Structure 1
Amino acid sequence: MQLTQKTEFALRILIYLSLQDKQKLSNITEISDCFSLSRNHIVKIVHELGKLDFIKTTRGKGGGLQLNHHCHDIRLGDVVRKMESNLDIVDCEKPACPIVPICRLKGILHQARDAFLAQLDLFTLEDLKQQPEQLLQLLHHVN
């Protein structure tokens, strides 16, 4: 199973925001510069993260972005489930597979996907920032 770039970038954005001072609002330009990613792409992901209530966005002068919840309340499994539009591993209908009525493959793969997500549920955004000073140093080194 491979996550989409959208989900990977969403996780990067959440990590970045988790490392910021709680009083400081971040902005899209600094995030896109930090990760060397397209500003337009970051805008779309930030918009979705806001709609999903992971981050708070404030428009206008003095506006910016920040986490909407404590890091220990943001489960990685939740982020993946909400950011991924399709978590099906196989599509037995395109092209139609003749053994679908008795095949166990799809069920087994779904169990594996569920185990993957259950494992991610054991971790929060807090777990990803265990070395905040080193992470910040690496992020600032990119600029």
Structure 2
Amino acid sequence: MKLSTRGRYGLRALIDLAVHETDGAVSAQSIAQRQNISESYLEQLIRKLKQDGLVDSVRGAGGGYRLAKPAEEISVGSVLRSLEGNLDAVECPAIEGNPCDGADACVTKFVWKRINDAISQAVDGIMISELAEESRALLEKQQDRQEPAEKRTC
């Protein structure tokens, strides 16, 4: 399974929204700048995420975007499925019980099912809140490294 820029950039955008959720609504321009993503491409991704109930928009002065539900309730899997569609590594009709030539004698369908289940379990088990927390910690480390030596405390 290989993710496109849609999934990778969309995930980065949602993490950015979670990291900056205390700032209120976040503009697409600020997300695009921080994440080094084209603003027009980002708008397309956000439109799809909004359609699937993961992002809300806020109009007017101070408008922008925010998470539609708590970051603890949004899995990486839900973001990737919204933007990428089916995440199965292998599409095998026999897994779903659909007709397939040779399905009765095919044992590889069990391999494909286990791989697909493992992918789903992995991405559904990681929440945006966890990634936002990791992102905040990395940002703090970067800021600490940039602080002048005389201002550092140990």
Q: TM-score, normalised by structure 1?
A: 0.77
Q: Distance in 1 between matches of 2:24 and 2:141?
A: 18
CA contact (8 A) 2:72 2:129 kept: yes
Q: Name 2:44's counterpart in structure 1.
A: 44
Residue 61 of structure 1: CA displacement? 3.4
Matched, 1:122 2:125: yes
**DSSP 3-state at the match of 2:45:** helix
Residue identity over aligned pairs, in percent, reads: 25
CA contact (8 A) 2:21 2:66 kept: no
Equivalent position to 2:139, from 135, 139, 142: 135
Residue 114 of structure 1: CA displacement? 1.7
Residue 46 of structure 1: CA displacement? 0.6
Q: Distance in 2 between matches of 1:137 and 1:87?
A: 33
Q: Distance in 1 between matches of 2:59 and 2:107?
A: 50
Task: Summarize deviations over 1:95-119 as a string: whole Å, max 9, x none.
Answer: xxxx942444355223202211112
Residue 48 of structure 1: CA displacement? 0.8
Task: Summarize deviations over 1:52-84 as a string: whole Å, max 9, x none.
Answer: 111111234331111111111112222222322
Q: Name 2:62's counterpart in structure 1.
A: 62
Q: How many residue pairs are counted as aligned between the two chains?
A: 134
Q: Given residue 78 of structure 1, which amino acid in structure 2 is its aligned partner?
A: S
Q: Given residue 24 of structure 1, which amino acid in structure 2 is its aligned partner?
A: G
Gaps of 5+ in 2: 93-99, 144-154
CA contact (8 A) 2:28 2:43 kept: yes
Q: Distance in 2 between matches of 1:20 and 1:91?
A: 37
Gaps of 5+ in 1: 93-98
| Largest Rg, 1 or 2 | 2
Task: Summarize deviations over 1:3-29 as a string: whole Å, max 9, x none.
Answer: 221111111011101111435211111
> Which structure has the higher relative contact order (CA within 8 Å, separation 6+)?
1
